[in-house]
Structure 1
């Protein structure tokens, strides 16, 4: 028969699962947000790198363009080409492709961790030892992911935004302001606001 202490430990393990699910979910949200932002910049860079030469080439080959008209076309295309060149330099120096791939990987891994913790909290094994073993297995993945995420650390503002998103998703009240968020508007809370 389970003692009261064993029941408390069991409930604490389940609560830890819920907390870890919440944190993983928020982290997944922030890396997802980063990936969308950088993905748009990469698409813009690729679009500009293709569209300018294609449009100029298409105009020149389709129409009998005089030298004066070609100069006007090139004058119009020059600022767009310079913008694309600047984006390309920024992309290469800041390794946007690497960051984008990493953000997608972290989004997926943290989302899966959140699901694993949530499922374990919702449908725990009956024995405390089995629950602890399963949680320990997920914890190893969680620790590896957190260690990897230090390559691209979250800012304090991002952590608070991720917390608000998670609290809203899990319908939990904030430990700082005791409010259960219903939207993503920033507040003055030091736990789930100021982002």
Structure 2
């Protein structure tokens, strides 16, 4: 019976490790997409507002032709990037990444809580099965988002660091998020 509980605890720790790593990946994606969309929004508003403010303040300024050309070039670039963001679905990807990060963090915390303080075998088995179904659904949705090998190594390093576990390849417990030469927890 103790061996069964230990087996379930190990499964919980492994699931927590993987869920945390996936959450970390999507948290980083969300942060990157948020920066991009915020910059795009800022440029989209700042250029016309600044142009209007300058026209209103300076009136007949002798270099308006050059200012309008510069503003038009910036607006054209901003329009092209906006089109690209629509094609690549940045807002939807940002929403998905944020939701996935939160869901994976929750799964990791619940798996870790079970591993740290497991109830009796029957209750543990039931809770692990319930969480495993939820985790499988989340993994299925996340796998559709084309997680790269580089992102997987980053997530693995974050998980190993969080749970203070040694890497299966280099046998080191990461203490930082600096990349190493390891093919499992580094090279990102």
Q: Equivalent residue for 1:168?
A: 161
Q: Distance in 2 between matches of 1:109 and 1:186?
A: 26
The runs of 5 or more residues in structure 2 that have no matched partner are none
The whole-number CA distance in structure 2 between the counterparts of 1:147 and 1:173 is 27
Structure 2 distance, partners of 1:163, 1:17, is 16
In 2, the alpha carbon distance for the partners of 1:69 and 1:135 equals 70
Residue 69 of structure 1 corresponds to which residue in structure 2? 63
CA offsets 1:88-127 (integer angstroms, 9 cap, x no match)? 01101111111010000100000000011011111110x2
1:155 corresponding residue in structure 2: 148
**In 1, distance between residues paired with 2:67 and 2:112?**
58
| 34-43 vs 81-90, greater mean Cα deviation | 81-90
Separation (CA, whole Å) in 2 of partners of 1:39 and 1:82: 22
Matched residue, 1:179: 172
SS at match of 2:47: helix
Tell me, yes or no, if structure 1 residue 113 matches structure 2 residue 113.
no
Answer yes or no: is 1:194 the counterpart of 2:187. Answer: yes
Q: Paired residue for 1:3?
A: none
Matches of 2:16 and 2:127 in 1, distance apart?
A: 14
Alpha-carbon deviations, 1:117-147, whole Å to 9, x = none? 011111110x211101011111111011011
1:34 to 4, 29, 35: 29
Distance (whole Å) between structure 1 residues aligned to residue 113 and residue 166 of structure 2 = 21
Runs of 4+ in 1 over 3 A off after TM superposition: none
Q: Which residue of 2 aligns with 1:78?
A: 72
Gaps of 5+ in 1: 1-5
Q: How far apart are 1:60 and its partner, in Å?
A: 1.0
Normalising by structure 1, report the TM-score. 0.92
Aligned length: 188
Question: Shift in Å at residue 37 of structure 1?
Answer: 0.7
Q: Normalising by structure 2, what TM-score?
A: 0.96
